[in-house]
Amino acid sequence: MGIFQLKFKAIEGVDVNKIISKDKSIKEIFSKRIDNYQSSLGVNGTPAPGISFLKVQADTKINSYTYKTEDGKKRLIVERESITYVDESEYRGWSSFKCDLVECIKLLIGQIEPCEVERLSVRFVNKFTFDSFDDPLEYFTKTISTSTDKMKYPLKKYAFRMFLDVKDHMWAVINHSLEPLENTIDYMFDIDVLSSTKIIMKMDAIADELEALHKIRNEIFFDALTEKTIELCN
């Protein structure tokens, strides 16, 4: 699963409805739209003990839109201060993922250009499936360990998280988790690379930052895999 998120500081006059002003064009890519509502309730008076009837004032508004492709594998989530693109389809390489992502941003960027970019992130959740998994270091260079020969009780599953300070307002959050299933073992390797580097809200600047984030993601990904795992992937 590949995820991109652009967070920005909205200014007066920029709301979620304005951001999706090109709704018709968006639906040419994402045929389904889900409107997400938020309600604030106000109660008049003080409730008495027992069953009573109260007057409730509701302030309901749409706080985000979720667009989906027909098969539901690609999603575009638009909120007042963020845009999130999610792709769970078969991975065809970074160039293809970036191309699809850029097409989505182009439909929205004209409406948010006056806003200030606060954060960009590129996240990939990778799943490896193994028939057996006796020694984690056969497959991954980073793992958890114990100072004793073995644990007191059998290990069923595990997870650990790492935070890396990359450079110049860039950092990475990495999650590893092992999940035994009935006949196989799933290993989730989740890499989220983030940047709070100040850039202008322009397509070229965003595209350049995307490449920088992807480069870091690749370095982390391949640094964590052994040659045996890379061969299995090929």
Write phi, then psi, for 88 (nearest 5 degrees). -110, 15
Residue 98 identity (one-letter amino acid) = K
Per-residue pLDDT at 124 exceeds 80 = yes
State the pLDDT at residue 79: 92
195-229 pLDDT, tens digit per residue, is: 998 899 999 999 999 999 999 999 999 999 999 99
Distance from C-alpha of 136 to C-alpha of 178, rounded to nearest angstrom: 10
**pLDDT attached to residue 147:** 80
176 band by pLDDT with thresholds 50, 70 and 90: very high
Give just the sign of the alpha carbon dihedral 86, 93, 158, 164: negative
Q: What is the pTM of this model?
A: 0.86
142-163 pLDDT, tens digit each: 888 878 777 788 778 889 999 9
Q: Considering only 91-100, 150-159, 161-170, which range has the smallest mean pLDDT?
A: 150-159
**What tokens were used for 171?**
């950092």
pLDDT at position 15, please? 86
Find the mean pLDDT for residues 173-191: 92
Q: What are the pLDDT digits (tens) for 40-76?
A: 556 666 666 667 666 666 555 778 899 999 999 999 9
* Structure confidence at residue 234 (pLDDT): 77
In total, the chain counts a number of residues equal to: 234
Residue 136 structure tokens: 């984690």
